[in-house]
DNA sequence: TCTCCATCGGAACGAAACGTTTCGTTGAAT
DNA sequence: ATTCAACGAAACGTTTCGTTCCGATGGAGA
């Protein structure tokens, strides 16, 4: 298994071979799924894609760049819009965890985080993505604020940061199978606080 | 710079040379600080420690094991005990971020998380540590619960998970310089919730 | 039509780090 | 005095990296 059936693709001469680029990206994703980040080498990707290593290095300057493009190709998880912040957050997290578990995007994202610890390009990309205002969590919270569901002096960025942090850590320590009840508890604490009443 | 002045240590013969073990652990920490996780190789550690590679492999089966021991040697950050959960949490996070920035422990912990993505030993160690009940955050929250400061039906594990997640993500995306005001906001949201009043 | 030339897959390269083996030396235990 | 485990050092074969060649392919422009 794991071998590609068709022979090497035709070269198209003076233009970039989009078939090769596609095959390389698909192979990179497949290698990540089958062998994990530990087995993710440029050589393995080239073999899997029936491509030459120089072809990969011509278009992606580093392993991090290839990882980043594989990550960006992932289809994003749906944004729930139930009109309730609590249901939106719980639904989003469950969708996200399921998506991360059932597709390769969890592996890809984990690998990107790992790569960012030794590659400046990946680190910059990750920081830029994490700090952006258009994250899914950020949108859910901004919508709730527009509905007046959360207090006016709440900083949506800080809340989004907290929710994203929860998701990241569960991805990194392989706890994506958290029961819905636990996720629901976490969201409830965030919405209603944890202080004892009467304080 | 970076060279060690003294000549090779004396061998002690038939017993484990604790001086060598100490020199290797110190060298591992130094290499991690000076060259980062990217430059952290067993060979570099052996050179820095004036030790032989077999000596390292004799006592640490993998790079992850060495990283783990370096991490465990780190002195832990103080646990504030002000009698106020809010002050304890803010103080702990500020202490932790400062400690991570000013010592090597931030680099070591980041490297351990990265290594856990490709090494099963590191992954197990990390999951065990993260899931343990005796984390610092967990202790702060358990104490607050004993004081009756938080509601009785609150699950301390979930709260600790949330706070630790916030710290992890800020470490991983190099945002340990978060202003105290932001950290204070986050803790306030967690304690008091974010819902608009009157709901 | 014909020549140019960027791109292709493939083979090979040097450098670096891996993990292992072998060597001669050291010094505590017997 | 002898034994023996651990030491530092050096060398080994392997893997992956990133690069450099090569012949072949096929679109673009003369």
3-state SS string over chain A? Answer: CCCCCCCCCCCCCCCCCHHHHHHHHHHHHHHHHHHCHHHCCHHHHHHHHCCCHHHHHHHCCCHHHHHHHHHHHCCCCCCCCCCCHHHHHHHHHHHHHHHHHHCCHHHHHHHHHHHHCCCHHHHHHHHHHHHCCCCHHHHHHHHHHHCCCECCCCCHHHHHHHHHHHHHHHHHCCCCCCCHHHHHHHHHHHHHCCECCCC
Joined together, the tokens standing for residue A2 give 């794991």
Q: CATH for A18-59, among 1.10.3720.10, 1.10.357.10, 1.10.10.60, 3.30.1240.10?
A: 1.10.10.60
* Phi, psi of A173, rounded to the nearest 5 degrees: -105, 20
Joined together, the tokens standing for residue A113 give 């985080």
pLDDT at position B198? 67
pLDDT single digits (tens) A16-75:
777 888 999 999 999 999 999 999 999 999 999 999 999 999 999 889 999 999 988 887
Chain B residue with the nearest C-alpha to that of A36 = B118
From chain B, the residues in CB contact with A132 under 8 A are none
Of B38, B119, B166, the CB nearest to A162: B166
Listed range (A93-102, B11-20, B29-38) with the worst mean pLDDT: B11-20
The pLDDT confidence band at residue A12, using thresholds 50, 70 and 90, is low
C1' nearest to CA of A15: which nucleotide? Answer: C7
From chain A, the residues in CB contact with B131 under 8 A are 173, 175
Three-class SS state of B155: coil
Chain B residue with the nearest C-alpha to that of A118 = B38
Which comes out higher in pLDDT, residue A115 or A133? Answer: A115
| CATH topology (fold) of B75-192 | Tetracycline Repressor; domain 2 (1.10.357)
The reply to whether domains B18-59 and B75-192 share a CATH topology is no
pLDDT single digits (tens) B84-142:
999 999 999 999 999 999 988 999 999 999 999 988 888 988 888 887 767 899 999 99
DSSP annotation of B76: P
Closest CA to B168 of B84, B123, B112: B112
Under CATH, which number does the domain A76-192 receive? Answer: 1.10.357.10
Taking the CA of residue B170 as centre, how many other CA atoms within 13 Å lie in the half-sphere pointing to its CB?
A: 25
CB A197 within 8 A of CB B192: no
For the cut 50, the answer to whether the pLDDT of residue A4 exceeds it is no
pLDDT at position B75? 73
CA distance A92 to B154: 23
CB B95 within 8 A of CB B78: yes
Kindly list the domain boundaries of chain B, sorted by start residue: 18-59, 75-192
pLDDT single digits (tens) B157-178:
999 999 999 999 999 999 999 9
pLDDT at position B103? 87
């Amino acid at each position: 298994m794991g071998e590609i059936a068709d022979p090497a693709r035709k070269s198209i001469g003076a233009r970039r071979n989009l078939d090769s680029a596609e095959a390389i990206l698909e192979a990179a994703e497949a290698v990540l799924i089958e062998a994990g980040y530990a087995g993710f080498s440029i050589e393995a990707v080239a073999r899997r894609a029936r491509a030459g290593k120089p072809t990969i290095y011509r278009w992606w300057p580093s392993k991090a760049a290839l990882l980043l493009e594989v990550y960006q190709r992932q289809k994003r998880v749906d944004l729930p819009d139930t009109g309730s912040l609590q249901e939106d957050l719980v639904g989003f997290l469950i969708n996200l965890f399921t998506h991360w578990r059932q597709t390769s995007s969890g592996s890809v994202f984990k690998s990107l985080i790992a790569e960012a610890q030794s590659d400046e390009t990946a680190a910059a990309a990750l920081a830029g993505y994490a700090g952006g205002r258009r994250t899914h969590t950020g949108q859910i919270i901004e919508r709730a604020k527009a509905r007046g569901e959360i207090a006016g002096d709440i900083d949506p960025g800080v809340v989004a940061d907290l929710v994203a942090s929860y998701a990241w850590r569960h991805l990194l320590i392989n706890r994506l199978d958290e029961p819905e009840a636990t996720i629901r508890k976490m969201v409830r604490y965030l919405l209603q606080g944890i202080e004892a009443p009467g304080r």
